[in-house]
Amino acid sequence: GENVEQHPSTLSVQEGDSAVIKCTYSDSASNYFPWYKQELGKGPQLIIDIRSNVGEKKDQRIAVTLNKTAKHFSLHITETQPEDSAVYFCAASIPNFGNEKLTFGTGTRLTIIP
Amino acid sequence: NAGVTQTPKFQVLKTGQSMTLQCAQDMNHNSMYWYRQDPGMGLRLIYYSASEGTTDKGEVPNGYNVSRLNKREFSLRLESAAPSQTSVYFCASRVRQGIPGELFFGEGSRLTVL
């Protein structure tokens, strides 16, 4: 089955600097890669996603890049702000005739230092 | 707009006791999911219901049962709770299984089994 590895597990960044979280996946059939943000005491919330036919996607201060050859994808947050402090999860989805399987990474706790 | 609502938010059980976690969504989604979240292990799928009237096992189904009561409601039951089931449980919904897209999560139910 699919295995998704996420690094680092914790990350501290000075406010205003950039943060990068990296994930690798094992199954080349994976074709959908979402990123979720989980604030303290809340459920995860989708912040950005990318499909395998796209190499990069941006939404204001966040961007995701995908390298299908190397089987890794990354989340980039620029000009970090205190409200970016949260746990971030990557995931990879394998299509399977209407029964696709979504596998999550183990999470990265991002702390923005004021 | 409530989205996905879970009850209870907190529960303490003794080993061997049973309980049911309730979940309801008001987004007219076809598919619903139960995940558990443990430190360092990300989100793992317990059971899911692709559509009303169907349920399927996920990655970690042992010790759990589910019921898709109607299109809105999907419950998770622990028949005989064990300390290994101490976790945070999240219910989620999506428009339709098989079509990659956003998972909408509830705020979680923290369960402690003594």
pLDDT at A84: 98
- Cα torsion A12, B90, A26, A96 to 10°: value is -150
Residues of A in contact with B30 (CB under 8 A): none
Could you tell me if A107 and A88 are in contact, meaning their C-beta atoms sit under 8 angstroms apart?
yes
Q: How far is A114 from chain B (nearest CA, A)?
A: 26
Query: Cβ–Cβ of A98/B97 closer than 8 Å?
Result: yes
Bridging pattern class, strands B109-113 and B10-13: parallel
The per-residue pLDDT for range A21-47, each reduced to its tens digit, is 999 999 999 999 999 999 999 999 999
Distances in Å between the Cα of A61 and the Cα atoms of A57, B2, B14, B69 are 11, 28, 46, 41
Q: How far is A16 from chain B (nearest CA, A)?
A: 28
Q: Which residue does chain B place closest to A6, by CA atoms?
A: B42
Could you tell me if B78 and B85 are in contact, meaning their C-beta atoms sit under 8 angstroms apart?
yes
The per-residue pLDDT for range B1-40, each reduced to its tens digit, is 689 999 999 999 999 999 999 999 999 999 999 999 998 8
Residues of A in contact with B40 (CB under 8 A): 9, 106-107
Percent over 90 (pLDDT), chain B:
89
pLDDT at A95: 83
The per-residue pLDDT for range B38-89, each reduced to its tens digit, is 988 889 999 999 999 999 999 999 999 999 999 999 999 999 999 999 999 9
